[in-house]
A and B are shown apart, each in its own frame.
Chain A
């Protein structure tokens, strides 16, 4: 248990939120994408967070039980949304099916925007936590001055 633990945990939060932000950006950018390498329209991506005990090695997991109450956050999975695509009648579109319908990604822009704000706020919270830990470490250096 030292200052680097707090910094490491906050840093993991920053990384996780940034990854979430990238996913949201990708969803927003591809809101009208009808063609993907896998075929079909773009499918909305969602990430899964998981709390993992903050240990540097396996020995620490075995020995130091109280320290492991600190948990890092990690993105463990990227889920692909399985919602049915939105069909729009656009017979002139090159990706239209034989009935003239084009499959568009089923992405709700409002939902993406709210998630984006949430990710930003969480990121800021982690930055504040890191700043606070840093302040503590800096003032500890002043002992005896």
Chain B
């Protein structure tokens, strides 16, 4: 594990990947908004990501096998999103459970937060660049 990038950057990088998954799933829901019998999918990762962050403080656990649960360092990059049928059912005659308004809201929220994460990554890189150049003078 490189130490150039700190915990924040790792978390931001993980969250952009997870947001991309949410974007794709939401696009799929919108495309299938009128497909009979289609079940709307939902992506959850915030909980898992914050849990991975919390454990960082206790990250003294030693893992001897790749299959072991990672605690602390490296756990953030391994956070998996949970994708499941959306239980907030919007019942229609044809068994489709997509709520188009909610999906559009999810979509714009996701885009904004994705861009926010990228902006933070850029700030981090900027600070690093500053330290690497100005500090030398």
Measured CB to CB, the residues of A under 8 A from B are 1-3, 5-6, 9-10, 12-13, 16, 48-51, 54, 66, 69-73, 118, 122, 125-126, 128-130, 132-133, 135-136, 139-140, 142-145
Contacts and interface: CB of A to CB of B under 8 A. Distances in A.
B83 A69 contact: yes
Range of interface residues on B (Cβ < 8 Å): 35 or more
Interface in B66-124: 80-81, 83, 100, 103-104, 107-108, 110-111, 114-115, 118, 121-122
B11 interface: no
A122 B20 contact: no
A72 B26 CA distance: 11
A10 B23 CA distance: 11
Given A6-B23, A128-B107, A143-B125, A13 B115 contact: no
A128 B104 contact: yes
A49 B28 contact: no
A6 B24 contact: yes
A41 B83 CA distance: 49
A133 B23 contact: yes
Contact of A51 (B19, B35, B121): B35
A139 B118 contact: yes
Contact of A72 (B31, B110, B114): B31
A48 B37 CA distance: 12
B115 A136 contact: yes
A6 B30 CA distance: 11
A interface, over-half SS: helix
Given A9-B31, A122-B34, A1 B24 contact: yes
A13 B30 contact: yes
A133 B27 contact: yes
B14 interface: no
Given A66-B83, A144-B125, A135 B111 contact: yes
Contacts of B36: 48-49
Nearest to B128: A144
A3 B16 CA distance: 12
Nearest to B129: A144
Given A69-B25, A71-B28, A132-B108, 7 more contacts: A1-B24, A13-B27, A69-B41, A73-B35, A129-B31, A136-B20, A144-B122
